Chains A and B, each alone.
Chain A
Amino acid sequence: MTDPLVTLDGLTVAFDDRPVVDQVNLSVHRGDIITIIGPNGAGKTTLIKSVLGIQKPSAGEVRLVPGMVIGYVPQHLVLESTLPLSVKRFMMLTGHSVSECRAALDKTGVGHLLNASVHHLSGGERQRLLLARALVRRPDLLVLDEPAQGVDINGQASLYQLIRQLRDELNCGVIMISHDLHLVMAATDRVICLNQHICCSGHPADISQDPAFIETFGHDVARSLAVYHHDHNHAHNLHGDVVEGDDGHLAHKECSGHAHP
C-alpha cells in the first residue's frame, strides 16, 4: 500500500480550552472515500479545516504528502451581490485555460452554463460549479463540506454518484462531511462518526450496528440505515427509474426492503 495522502496524528483543536476536535487519528489514501458524520457541533468542519490548513491544530499533527494539490468544495458559495461574476470568469481565476475549464464544467454537468452569471445559478448548479472549480486543478485530494446541502433529493443522489465517478477518474482521495445519512451510506467506503473524538468508524454496513453509533444517533436512525443499506450496483435517472448499472444488473425491485416504482 502506498503512503497515505493525509495523516492526522492525535489532532486536537481547542477553542478557549474546550476541545472541539479531540485526539483524532485518521489516514486517507488515494481512492478512499471517507465521509464524516456526526451531530451539530461535533467538530466536523473544524476537522476538515485542519486538513485544509485553514485551522491550526492545538496539539497533534496533520501530515500531507508534499506538493499535494487539494481541491476544496466549501459548504456554500455566498457571493456578494455587488460583485458581478460569470461562471467562465470564476473558473478562469484558477489560472487554467478556457478549454480546461469547459472540460471540467462538462464533467460536472454544467458546461452549458459557461456564460451564465454565478448569481443566477441554483443551489445544485453552484455546488457543481464549485466541484468543477476544484477539479480543474487536478486535485490529489478532494475535500467537500456538505456538498449536497440545498440540493433536492434526486440531485443529491446524482451528486454523490458524480463524486464516486470523479474519484475513479482522478484516482484521488475524498473526504466529505454529510448529514444525508442514507445517501452517505450508499456512496461511501468508510464512515467516520465524529463527536469531538471518533466514536466509531468503518464500512457503512457495519457502522449502523455499532453501539457507539446507535448511542450517538439513536435506535431509529440506526435501524432505518440498516434497512436502507444496499449494494449500489444500479443507478437511477432523474425520474427515479432504475437504469443500467455497473454489472448490467437491472431492476432489483425488492432488494434490501425498498422498492422502486
Chain B
Amino acid sequence: MPILDAILDDFFWRALLGGLGIALVAGPLGCFVVWRRMAYFGDTLAHSALLGISLSFLVSLPLHVGVIITCVVLATALVLLSRTRALATDTLLGILAHSALAIGLVTLSFMPDVRVDLTGLLFGDLLAMSRGDLAWIYGGAVVILTLLALLWRGLLMSTIHEELARVEGLPVERLRLALMLMFSLVIAVAMKIVGVLLITAMLIIPAATARRLARNPEHMVGLAMVFGAIAVTGGLILSWYLDTPAGPSSVVTAFLTFLLVYGSTAQTRA
C-alpha cells in the first residue's frame, strides 16, 4: 500500500503510531497498577529491563526477548520472596529495583565494544522508532489486549476481593501470573518509547487521570487509553516544535492533563 508506505517512511508518523500502540495497552494495565497498588512494582520491573538488555548483549539474544525473560524471572522471584514475609514488600522492591539497575550497568561496562545509547534506554527515544519496533509494539498489543479480554472478569474480580474470587472458583494465582507476564511484555515494548525510568509514569498518570471521571472499571480503562493517546500525541508535537526530548515531553503532557482534569472537576467521587 503506497499510502501506508509513505506514512511508515516518515519518522514522525512512525513515532506517533508506536506511541498510540503503547497508550492502547498502557491504559488497561495502568489501571491494574493503580487498583492493585503496584506502582513501585512496575518501577522495579522497569529497572530490571536494563539488566535484561545487558544480558541480551552478553548472550546475543534479541533485546526484547532478553527484557521479557528478565522481567518474568524478577516478577516470579518477587512474588515468591514476598510470601516469605522476611522483609516488607517495599523494602524488597527497593533492593531488587536498584540492584537490577546497577548490575545491568556494571555488566554493560564489561563489554566495551557494545555501544548502547544509555540516555535513550533510560528516557526513551521515540523518534528513533523503526518499522521493526512498530511490529513489536502492535504484536505485543494484540497479545496483551486479547489476554485482557479473555481474562477480564477474573482479573477484575480478584482485584476487587481476592478471597471472594477464590471462593467463586477463579484461578487467582494463575491470573496474577498472567498479569505479571503482561507487565513484562509492555515494559519490553514500551522501553523504547518512554525509557526505563518513565514507563511507570505512562502506566499510572493516564489511569489516575481517568479515575476522576470514571464510574465503572471498563469506563476507566477506556478513558485511560484516551489520556495515554493525548499524552503521546502532545509529547510528539511538543518535541517537534520545541525540540524537546519526546519521552519526557509525553510524560509532561500526561501530567498537565492530570492537573487539568483534577483542577476542573468538582470534588466528587463515583
Q: Which of A54, A86, A133 contacts B215 (CB 8 A)?
A: A86
- Least CB distance from A119 to B in Å reads 6
Which stretch, A74-82, A148-156, A175-183, touches the partner chain B? A74-82
Q: Do the beta carbons of B166 and A86 come within 8 Å of each other?
A: no
Q: Do the beta carbons of B160 and A79 come within 8 Å of each other?
A: yes
Interface hits, A64-81 → B, CB 8 Å = 70, 72, 74, 77, 79-81
CB of B269 within 8 A of chain A?
yes
Report Cα–Cα, A93/B168, bound state, in Å. 11
Interface bracket on B = 20 to 34
Report Cα–Cα, A81/B212, bound state, in Å. 11
Q: Do the beta carbons of A119 and B270 come within 8 Å of each other?
A: yes
Report Cα–Cα, A133/B164, bound state, in Å. 10
Interface hits, B130-170 → A, CB 8 Å = 153, 156-157, 159-161, 163-164, 166-168
> Which residues from A are CB-within-8-Å of B157?
93
- Least CB distance from B31 to A in Å reads 8
- Least CB distance from A146 to B in Å reads 14
Q: Do the beta carbons of B216 and A89 come within 8 Å of each other?
A: yes
Q: With contacts A89-B216, A90-B160, A119-B270 known, is A137 near B211, CB below 8 A?
A: no
CB of B108 within 8 A of chain A?
no
> Which residues from B are CB-within-8-Å of A77?
161
Interface hits, A48-67 → B, CB 8 Å = 49, 52-54
Chain A interface main SS type? loop
Report Cα–Cα, A77/B165, bound state, in Å. 12
Q: Do the beta carbons of B208 and A82 come within 8 Å of each other?
A: yes
> Which residues from A are CB-within-8-Å of B216?
84-86, 89
> Which residues from B are CB-within-8-Å of A122?
none
Q: Which of A79, A80, A95 contacts B153 (CB 8 A)?
A: A95
> Which residues from A are CB-within-8-Å of B35?
80, 82-83
Q: With contacts A93-B156, A137-B168 known, is A84 near B163, CB below 8 A?
A: no
> Which residues from B are CB-within-8-Å of A82?
34-35, 208, 211
> Which residues from A are CB-within-8-Å of B163?
49, 52, 54, 72, 74
Closest to A95 in B: B153
Q: Which of B156, B168, B215 contacts A117 (CB 8 A)?
A: B215
> Which residues from A are CB-within-8-Å of B208?
82
Report Cα–Cα, A85/B221, bound state, in Å. 12
Closest to A83 in B: B35
Q: Do the beta carbons of A83 and B164 come within 8 Å of each other?
A: no
CB of A94 within 8 A of chain B?
yes
Q: Do the beta carbons of A84 and B220 come within 8 Å of each other?
A: yes
CB of B174 within 8 A of chain A?
no
CB of B178 within 8 A of chain A?
no
Q: Which of B153, B160, B167 contacts A54 (CB 8 A)?
A: B167
Q: 4 tightest A-B contacts by CB?
A: A72-B167, A84-B214, A83-B35, A82-B34
A residues apposed to B, CB below 8 Å: 49, 52-54, 70, 72, 74, 77, 79-86, 89-90, 93-95, 117, 119, 133, 137, 143
Given known contacts A52-B163, A84-B214, A84-B219, what 15 new A-B pairs fall within 8 Å (CB)? Answer: A49-B163, A54-B167, A72-B167, A74-B164, A80-B37, A82-B211, A85-B160, A86-B215, A93-B157, A93-B160, A95-B153, A117-B270, A119-B269, A119-B270, A137-B168
Contacts A/B (CB < 8 Å), 22 sampled: A53-B166, A54-B163, A54-B166, A72-B164, A74-B161, A74-B164, A77-B161, A80-B159, A82-B35, A82-B211, A85-B160, A86-B270, A89-B216, A89-B217, A93-B156, A93-B160, A94-B168, A117-B215, A117-B270, A119-B270, A133-B164, A137-B168
